[in-house]
Structure 1
Amino acid sequence: MHLSLEALSKSFGTNRVIDNVTVDFGELRSLALIGPSGGGKSTLLRIIAGLEAPDSGGFALDGQHVGADEESLRAHRLHLGVVFQAYNLFPHLTALANITLPLEKVHGIAPSAAEEIAREALRRFALADHAHKKPAELSGGQKQRVAIARAIAIKPRLLLFDEPTSALDPEMTAEVLDVIEELKNEGRDFLLVTHEMGFARHVADRVAFLAQGRIIEHGPAGELFAAPQSRECRDFLARILRH
């Protein structure tokens, strides 16, 4: 993918969360967004995912500018798979129905074909035996794998992960991170917001450090972690990697 941001800003009330960000990441397969809580990472991901409209500026994906009007954002969202930290599964639906519903209602796929796609996605993530369970009957790791299965079922051009392991214990975190690494090894493009620094360094082509609504620096993952150029990034990594 080729991702570029142009004078991008977003505020909630008087709080400017994204502050006039301009950057061209160039060609890459995977980008990790890191930085302190409240620095703007999740908001930036939601803008790129078409879930939030910027107040000003914009962004382009693979050279195509994405408009900020609802019609443009809706068309953009059709081609993206998003995985949230809180799973965002419908609690009253089974794992299978959580995948078939968007296939049918959003993408217009016939029910029989949607079920076939959903069952294949569940098998892909070792969830076939859990197809008729509701989210309350699944572990955290299983719920997140259902969410990932739902995201890839639409064959997205880009996957976006917003803190996909923040609600999980260490064992389930490792389980989900393994799935994401498998997806990268399959050649899928993705954007990841994470506090898992070791994983970000391992799986991302490039890393961007956000603080106070600005991208302070970005670069190849190995270089940024080995020799951060900004004091803010050095201090952040020193705190995070101390333990």
Structure 2
Amino acid sequence: MREFKIQRANNMPVQSPLVPEPMVPYSCKNSRTVYAMCEVDEDTIRRHLAPTPFEYVNNLCMIYVNDFTESPELPYMDSGIIFTVKYKDIFGGCYMYEWEDNDVAIATGRYWGYPKKYARMSLEKNGNIIRGTTTRKEVRLIDIELDCSKPLEKVPTLHTTYPHLNLLTIPRPDGPGIFSQRVTARDNSSTCKTLSNQYAEVNVTLNSSAYDPIGDFNPLKVLGGGYSVTDFLATMENGWAKVIDTLV
């Protein structure tokens, strides 16, 4: 029988931490992403931003599915919808909704305020077609189909993706309400290298499930998409988030 050593930890549960210590550094060679750039109704975006302190910037978003499974420290599949937002004088990327398939990755991201939930993702290439899907509670939330036989010279990009602006919210343990809420910023872009990025025509389907209301973003105006491969690295110097404001 393998001997288990009780640990002294700074995360839950303290005797057997869910999240590795330290959480960084971690890396992933050949992180693969299929994505679509879309325009969404402004009023809809503002409604989804209303519970946050973040300001509307424009109606462009990136919808993506990512394969991070080659990471030796933290393998997972990831998916989400990112908008550019503003907090005071800082512009950054806001993960309006995000899903992953590894509870360790979910817990790690929530330390910094990412709104991660559990879902199942797939990212597959079949000839010229690259398809990414996200399924939660038996609902296909996201279906992206990129047709590499229909290349594009370029597609629009977000005003900015970094830093990631997040809202780290801790509920009260003794009843309804917020115990703590902080705005965080995280930027590890300096140690990530894009190996390739192929633009092409893309089709996107969004659906809502209970507590995942991304069907609200329909109808989408799809502007194009792509398939990128990146070497990802979060270091001790840039892998942590910075608290830029305490709201509660």
Verify same fold: TM over 0.5. Answer: no
**Which structure is higher in helix share?**
1
**Which structure is higher in strand share?**
2
Structure with the greater relative contact order (CA < 8 A, sep ≥ 6): 1 or 2?
1
TM-score (norm 1): 0.24
